[in-house]
Amino acid sequence: MAKVHEWDVHKLHPTQITVGLLEVKDRRRELDSLKKSEQRDFLAAHPIPAVLGLDGKLFITDHHHLARAAWDLGIDQAFFLTEADLSSHDADNFWRAMAAERWVHPYDEHGVLRPYHEIPRHLEGLRDDVYRSLACYVRRAGGFEKTPTAFAEFVWADFFRRRIPIGSNPADFQAALDKATRLARSPEARDLPGFRAA
């Protein structure tokens, strides 16, 4: 049975290689606007799913953006919902079990599958994937529905990555967002998780 408990944020281990740092910035701003007691209440209301894994370490399986934002702000403790105890597994069987449950996403910022050892050991090692941020902003703009499908926004990120270039300044991102939001509602995207027809 899943159990909620507190854990040190700096001891968390990611299960993916990238996040969208623009989304992390939004979550950081949201947390930073709260008083310390309110931050604790917010984190308690949004427990981060995790698995007890290798050497008794806690591997988070979702909400990497929230966890990274908490780490960036120096928040010591957060709340976690332990989904499984795989601490008795060796490394190969641990990652095999994680993959079977769709609790790991070892793809880099170019959408390329990488070996498990390239997953950062700590939150600060997460790389930026601007297309992951783009997918988040498209969803917020109503381009597609939030869905429980594992790593759905990474699926959308890869869809946009192959179709929309993003330059290095904010105006380029906004232009990409406008185009991506339209593209998300087009028939070309109909097989993606959370698709909403125009």
pLDDT band at 16 (very low <50, low <70, confident <90, very high): very high
Question: Measured between alpha carbons, how far is 107 from 111 in angstroms, rounded to an integer?
Answer: 5
Per-residue pLDDT, averaged over 21-47, amounts to 96
Question: Measured between alpha carbons, how far is 86 from 128 in angstroms, rounded to an integer?
Answer: 28
Q: Is residue 17 part of a domain?
A: yes
Q: What domain range is 168 assigned to? A: 130-189
Whether the pLDDT of residue 2 is over 90: the answer is: no
Token pair 């959408």 in the structure block, residue: 111
- Among 128, 157, 175, give the residue marking a domain's end: 128
Q: What is the pLDDT of residue 3?
A: 79
Per-residue pLDDT, averaged over 91-99, amounts to 97
Question: Measured between alpha carbons, how far is 119 from 17 in angstroms, rounded to an integer?
Answer: 5
Q: What is the pLDDT of residue 168?
A: 86
Q: pTM for this structure?
A: 0.93
Number of domains in the chain: 2
Q: What is the pLDDT of residue 194?
A: 97
Question: Measured between alpha carbons, how far is 177 from 104 in angstroms, rounded to an integer?
Answer: 27
Residues 59 and 148 in one domain: no
